[in-house]
């Protein structure tokens, strides 16, 4: 198995610290609002990677934090007349509601930043004692110049980073690139007691501390969106490795952005969609299939037309499962070795694609190739064992991606029957335009209609 490591900017063989076990930390949401589709893609990507690692036999300890103290949270709480804690409690529950709806497996641990204040104070105290941090007027800053490898994740040296950054002038800092580990309390903000006076932690120290406490000094995989490479993950490396003297994370994985109608998603353009808004119109499997139809390191473009295309693709997958399920009713006993061998060859090809830096795009293509072979080679004369094996492999390959996990033979058939009934009513009313459009819609979904004296029969196109 090979993964693309942002730190080395190349694909590397994946070798975990402890054989058969993976320690994985993914930066989670700041819980002040519902998460949008860009966040959703990040969550889906690393949920899929986690599930695929488990599929390949690894025991994965998966940690995803909640940032529940932050400037944005303080502003939102003040604007809405609530407390930061109440705001965090509310949106953590909302996160679970939407993540569960997207079939995202719950993390082994979901730590809250505010639950680790004591550990963060200990962390910062050690950095000060080692000469990597300093206190001034109740604030504590990390000294980036003291960490010789600062910039190694983003691939730039300190001078380049400084010249390219928009840095607020702060005379209390020894260097403009130094970042806050602890922020002195301001009026009306939540605060905790510390050796430097009342205050609250900086953002970067939160993840380093939670990863250290829950996964150890060195972890296998640290992941998040590409927007976190600098400064968040760069700063995590600096403070973590300065404390321990050891590698913080061996593999750094980053998921790419989602554009909306070929434009970057932004509040100023008002082109945000929350995951909840999309899930009101599309099944979670449609959303997952769409999000994973491009490689996780590649930006994807979000449009409703592309979601509709993903919906049609998913229906073709379920059509294949429904067709196989229908044959099982009267299938003869037996298993065809040649067909099993064909199915296994596609399974091996799927694993080959996923082992190559979790290439879901190519893996999904392999699933469609397998479905075409199954539709061509299997029918009502196929043995029961062969049919059951084909269905089980399709579901097996769909599981890490989060597709083809629903029951077949029920909802799809009801939907088709309802459309046929609607078409029949349109014909009675001589609304042939509607009748023809329904027939065309069914045809596009691979459904063949046959008008007979006994009524309308339908079948799935081979």
Please enumerate, by residue number, every residue annotated as part of a binding site for Zn(2+): 27, 207, 232, 236
Q: Extract the tokens encoding 168.
A: 């607020």
Which phi and psi angles does 285 have, rounded to 5°? -70, -30
Our separate counts of H helices and E strands in the chain read 15, 15
Q: Extract the tokens encoding 301.
A: 């473009």
From residue 315, how far is each of 45, 363, 444 by CA, in Å?
A: 22, 18, 10
Q: Are 220 and 23 in contact (CB under 8 A)?
A: yes
The residue with tokens 């809405």 is: 80
| Separation between Cα atoms, residue 327 and residue 378, nearest integer Å | 9
| Separation between Cα atoms, residue 108 and residue 255, nearest integer Å | 21
Which of 34, 31, 190, 21 lies closest to 117, judged by CA?
190
**Mode of pairing for the β-strands spanning 258-260 and 300-302:** parallel
In which region does residue 95 sit, left (phi positive, over 0), alpha (psi from -120 to 50) or beta (all else)? alpha
Alpha carbon 448 to chain centroid, angstroms: 36
413 burial type by CB count under 10 A (0-12 exposed, 13-18 middle, 19+ buried) = middle
Which of 128, 155, 157, 154 lies closest to 143, judged by CA?
128
Binding residues, by number, are: 27, 207, 232, 236, 267
**Mode of pairing for the β-strands spanning 2-5 and 21-26:** unpaired
Which of 54, 57, 60, 28 lies closest to 43, judged by CA?
28
Binding residues for ATP, by number, are: 267
- Mapping DSSP to helix (H, G, I), strand (E, B) and coil, where does residue 18 land? strand
Partners of residue 22 on adjacent β-strands = 60
From residue 372, how far is each of 68, 97, 321, 403, 444 by CA, in Å?
A: 48, 36, 12, 17, 16
| Separation between Cα atoms, residue 331 and residue 380, nearest integer Å | 6
Which of 364, 436, 374 lies closest to 401, judged by CA?
364
| Separation between Cα atoms, residue 17 and residue 62, nearest integer Å | 15
| Separation between Cα atoms, residue 337 and residue 284, nearest integer Å | 35
The residue with tokens 């922020």 is: 183
Q: Cis omega (within 30 of 0) on the bond before 231?
A: yes
């Amino acid at each position: 198995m090979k993964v693309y490591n942002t730190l080395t900017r190349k694909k590397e063989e994946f070798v975990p610290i402890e054989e058969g076990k993976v320690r994985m930390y993914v930066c989670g949401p700041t819980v002040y609002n519902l998460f949008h589709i860009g966040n959703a893609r990040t969550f889906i990507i690393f949920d899929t990677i986690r599930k695929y690692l488990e599929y390949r036999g690894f025991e994965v300890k998966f940690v995803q934090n909640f940032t529940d103290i932050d400037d944005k949270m303080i502003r939102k709480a003040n604007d809405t007349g609530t407390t930061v804690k109440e705001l965090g409690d509310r949106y953590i529950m909302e996160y679970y509601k939407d993540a569960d709806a997207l079939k995202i497996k719950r993390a082994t641990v979901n730590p809250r930043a505010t639950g680790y204040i004591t550990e963060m104070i200990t962390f910062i105290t050690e950095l000060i004692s080692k000469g990597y941090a300093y206190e001034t007027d109740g604030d504590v800053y990390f000294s980036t110049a003291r960490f010789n490898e600062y910039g190694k994740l983003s691939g730039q040296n300190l001078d380049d980073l400084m010249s390219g950054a928009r840095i607020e002038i702060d005379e209390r800092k020894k260097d403009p690139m130094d970042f806050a580990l602890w922020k002195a309390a301001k009026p009306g903000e939540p605060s905790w007691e510390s050796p430097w006076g009342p205050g609250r932690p900086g953002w970067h120290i939160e993840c380093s501390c939670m990863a250290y406490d829950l996964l150890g000094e060195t972890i296998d995989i640290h992941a998040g969106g590409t927007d976190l490479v600098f400064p968040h993950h760069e700063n995590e490396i600096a403070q973590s490795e300065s404390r321990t003297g050891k590698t913080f994370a061996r593999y750094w994985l980053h998921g790419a952005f989602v554009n909306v109608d070929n434009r970057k998603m932004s509040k100023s353009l008002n082109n945000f969609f929350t995951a909840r808004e999309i899930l009101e119109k599309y099944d979670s499997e449609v959303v997952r299939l769409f999000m994973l139809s491009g490689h996780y390191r590649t930006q994807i473009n979000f449009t409703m037309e592309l979601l509709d295309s993903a919906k049609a693709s998913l229906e073709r997958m379920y059509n294949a499962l429904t067709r196989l399920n229908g044959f099982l009713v009267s299938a003869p006993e037996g298993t065809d070795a040649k067909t099993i061998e064909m199915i296994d060859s596609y399974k091996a090809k799927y694993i080959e694609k996923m082992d190559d830096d979790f290439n879901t795009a190519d893996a999904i293509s392999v699933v469609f190739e397998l479905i075409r072979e199954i539709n061509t080679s299997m029918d009502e004369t196929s043995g029961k064992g062969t049919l059951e094996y084909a269905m089980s492999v399709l579901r097996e390959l769909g599981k890490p991606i989060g597709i083809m996990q629903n029951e077949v033979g029920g909802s799809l058939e009801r939907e088709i029957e309802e459309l046929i009934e609607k078409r029949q009513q349109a014909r009675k009313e001589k609304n042939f335009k509607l009748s023809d459009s329904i027939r065309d819609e069914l045809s596009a979904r691979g459904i063949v209609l046959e008008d007979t004296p006994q009524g309308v029969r339908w079948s799935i196109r081979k």
